[in-house]
Structure 1
């Protein structure tokens, strides 16, 4: 059973970005599945690595359009992206060194951050992007 089920309430109505969000949801669900089935630490680290890299790619997509369209809240949005990447990398370091484990706290953090970020921050830029011809 997935931790997050994609629904239209998460859509920003921009195909490229919605597809990227769906992929991130899938990765969180994959990590959840690995945890539920007690898969090896290596599998979990691989998923976390993949998620960290894809998240950077996704954030660069959003930020590219923000710069291109001169989105007024670009700096604030970019800072939230940077903080998220830092938190994921810190968790990864702790997990690899054995200082922290894969817990529901982490999964809930990832889930809550993504859902809140999409519904609060990303939905703010969506109409602005659409006005500039992105859909």
Structure 2
């Protein structure tokens, strides 16, 4: 469902590979959502949320180090966006998830994909442009 597109490419290999991994996690989540053979998905959703959080923190750390390395002038605002995203994921009310697991997972996926694609296309492409001016 969540397709990597050429327009997401930063041409920074490590960043692109990590972005692709985030899409892969989103697709794993979508596969779980569409699996009608699993009636109680609670534990699996928790695993996916934790996997997503762990990988986002890893990716954001990598990206932030890159931004520091190139002297990106908007580093702090970029970092704040990362922190707000992590906070939003951490603040999910998991008790509500048990009431309607599929809807809950779909809401998380929609939030994640809207955020990540918008973040890549706007914020990440801004530092890509900045890095090109350095070359």
Same structural fold, with TM-score higher than 0.5 when normalized by the shorter chain: yes
Distance in 1, matches of 2:134 and 2:29, equals: 36
Gaps of 5+ in 2: none
Distance in 1, matches of 2:71 and 2:53, equals: 26
Distance in 2, matches of 1:36 and 1:60, equals: 32
Aligned to 1:14: 12
CA RMSD, 1 decimal: 1.6
1:63–1:78 CA contact under 8 A, matched in 2: yes
1:129 CA drift (Å):
3.1
Gaps of 5+ in 1: none
1:10 CA drift (Å):
0.8
1:14–1:130 CA contact under 8 A, matched in 2: no
Aligned to 1:67: 68
TM-score, with structure 2 as normaliser: 0.86
1:32–1:107 CA contact under 8 A, matched in 2: yes
Moved over 6 A (4+): none
1:65–1:129 CA contact under 8 A, matched in 2: no
1:6-26 superposed Cα distances (whole Å, 9 cap, x missing partner): 110111111110000000011
1:9-54 superposed Cα distances (whole Å, 9 cap, x missing partner): 1111111100000000111111111111154211111111011000
Aligned to 1:83: 84
Aligned to 1:114: 116
Q: Report the count of equivalent residues.
A: 127
1:67-112 superposed Cα distances (whole Å, 9 cap, x missing partner): 1221100010000000000001111xx12xx223424222111110
Match of 1:12, SS state, is coil
Aligned to 2:96, which of 75, 82, 99?
A: 99
